[in-house]
Chain A
Amino acid sequence: MAERRIRVLVGKPGLDGHDRGAKIIARALRDAGFEVIYTGLHQTPEQIVSAAIQEDVDCVALSILSGAHNTLLPAVREIMKEKGASDIVLMAGGVIPEDDIPGLKAAGIAEVFTPGTSTETIVAWMRDNVTPHA
């Protein structure tokens, strides 16, 4: 039987224009052997979910530095549910206060990484927590 290659969408929802971090993550995931669909800046939650479905990704990894994480991340999760795609793992990284993380996790965001996290940690987390669709 052929083997699944893990596919991950990396993108930036909302208005902040700093994509250095997202690009570093994309590059680290590529080096880990994943196929990364990089959608770039200024994505609406709707665009992100449509792209994730069309690309049949196993995981959506979003970078947010704008402070709008409490709105944008749950919005992405809601649209995933509406579109029958809640099997896709949603995780995020960026400038996100520790106090906000429990609320985000309760909203279905699988993991939240804050500044200073090494790319190895993120890759290892993905290997443990993202199983490719059967």
Chain B
Amino acid sequence: MSLAERVLDGEIRAAARLMRDIDDRFKSAVDELKILYPHTGKAYIIGITGPPGAGKSTLVDQVVAAYRKKDLLVGVVAIDPTSPFSGGAILGDRIRMNRHADDPGVFIRSLATRGALGGLSRSTMDVLNVMDAMGLDVIVVETVGVGQDEVDIVSTAHTTVVVMVPGLGDDIQAIKAGILEIGDVFVVNKADRDGADRTARELTAMLEMKHPEAGDWMPHVIKTEAAKGLGIDELVDEFEAHHSYLKESGALQRLIQERNAKIFADTLREELFESVFSGIKESGKYQQILDGMRDRSTDPYSAVEEVMAARSFS
């Protein structure tokens, strides 16, 4: 039986192995994903992002517990950085989620960024598809701790949650571009700390500058103390409100459309590059181009034009 069939049969080890094959970019994983694809599209995906140390993992742990109380099956994809020097990684998000380790209704997978820069790993979307096909109802994606511009989560999750903590900067930080534009829900965690109210107020003020059209979603700021479980019920209610909004307003269809377009474009870009690049490497053309660039007899722009002209796409 193929891995994909075993995944559909509910076999945990098969799912875990397939995720590994995806992460390690095994060609065979693509065939398995083809089998799973028709079984995906059912899970509700929540993305949680924010700076390192904001309490994302602890928040994820609480959100998992809240959804388990509703008797839903929950998946977690937690991403931590790969060392640019050794290629190794310490994936430590599970530390905060250990109480769910032996709950058969929860599947947690840690992924390393492996050089990807957008806050996720290249494999994230495909790993989500495996969890989706496993029949998990809610999947929480925790991004690597991000700064300002790592916004890949938006095109991956249905509901994007930006977690902030008091004391990270003044309100000018809040009106810059980047992660503060992407939230459907904002959280001020560690709300017992000094300055929490001020941070919440500044975020709210920033959000109110947006002037949403009638019927648009208006993000709210929720204060939590994840370590004590405070504010979690309100937070999960807000997720549910956003999920209902997506379904009822038609925004969900648009989101799915955009995401499908992105997945297709990403896959095409990768495959095209792989095929063209390995082609010119094998033919020796690649070396010729590099030699030409070295003595300035060719330039990268003409070289690419020439390579492209030699291929036909329909």
Find out whether the CB atom of A54 lies under 8 angstroms from the CB atom of B107: yes
Contact in complex: B88, A33 (CB < 8 Å): yes
Residue-wise interface mask of A (90-134) relative to B, using a CB-CB cutoff of 8 A (1 in contact, 0 not): 000000000000000000000000000000000000000000010
Complex contact A33–B86 (CB within 8 A): yes
**At the interface, yes or no: A20 with Cβ under 8 Å from chain B?**
no
Q: Are A29 and B88 in contact (CB under 8 A)?
A: yes
Q: Taking chain A's interface residues, is the majority helix, strand, or loop, or is none over half, making it mixed?
A: mixed
CB-CB under 8 A from B12, the residues of chain A are: 53-54
Interface residues of A in 1-31 (CB under 8 A from B): 1-5, 7, 26-27, 29-31
In chain B, positions 1-60 with a C-beta closer than 8 Å to chain A are: 12-13, 16-17, 19-20, 23-27
Give bound CA distance, A38 to B108, whole Å.
13
At the interface, yes or no: B66 with Cβ under 8 Å from chain A? no
> With an 8 A cutoff between CB atoms, is A73 at the interface?
no
* Contact flag A35-B16 (CB < 8 Å), given A5-B24, A51-B94: no
- Work out how many contacts link A and B, with CB atoms closer than 8 A: 92
Point out the residue from B91, B95, B107, B108 that lies within 8 Å of A35, measured CB to CB.
B91
Query: Across the interface, do B86 and A39 meet the contact criterion of CB distance under 8 Å?
Result: no
A30/B88 in contact, CB under 8 A: yes
With known contacts A31-B88, A44-B102, A56–B19 Cβ distance under 8 A = yes
Range of interface residues on A (Cβ < 8 Å): 35 or more
Contacting pair A32 B89 (CB below 8 A): no
B101 at the interface (CB under 8 A from A): yes
Query: Chain A nearest CB: distance from B169 CB in Å?
Result: 30
Assess whether A70 is interfacial by the CB under 8 Å rule. no
Cα separation A4 to B83 with both chains bound (whole Å): 17
One of A1, A33, A39, A56 near B87 (C-beta < 8 A): A33
Measured between beta carbons, the chain B residues less than 8 angstroms from A7 are 20
Q: Which of A1, A4, A48, A53 lies in contact with B13, CB distance below 8 A?
A: A53
Contact with B along A52-90 (1 / 0, CB 8 A): 011110000000000000000000000000001100000
**Shortest 10 CB-CB distances between A and B: which pairs?**
A47-B101, A30-B88, A40-B95, A2-B25, A56-B16, A56-B20, A46-B102, A33-B88, A33-B87, A38-B92
Binding site for B on A (CB under 8 A): 1-5, 7, 26-27, 29-40, 42-44, 46-48, 50-51, 53-56, 84-85, 133
Q: Can you report 22 A-B residue pairs in the complex whose CB atoms are below 8 A from each other?
A: A1-B27, A5-B23, A5-B24, A5-B87, A30-B89, A31-B83, A31-B86, A35-B88, A35-B89, A35-B112, A36-B89, A36-B90, A37-B94, A39-B95, A48-B101, A51-B98, A53-B12, A53-B13, A55-B109, A56-B17, A133-B17, A133-B20
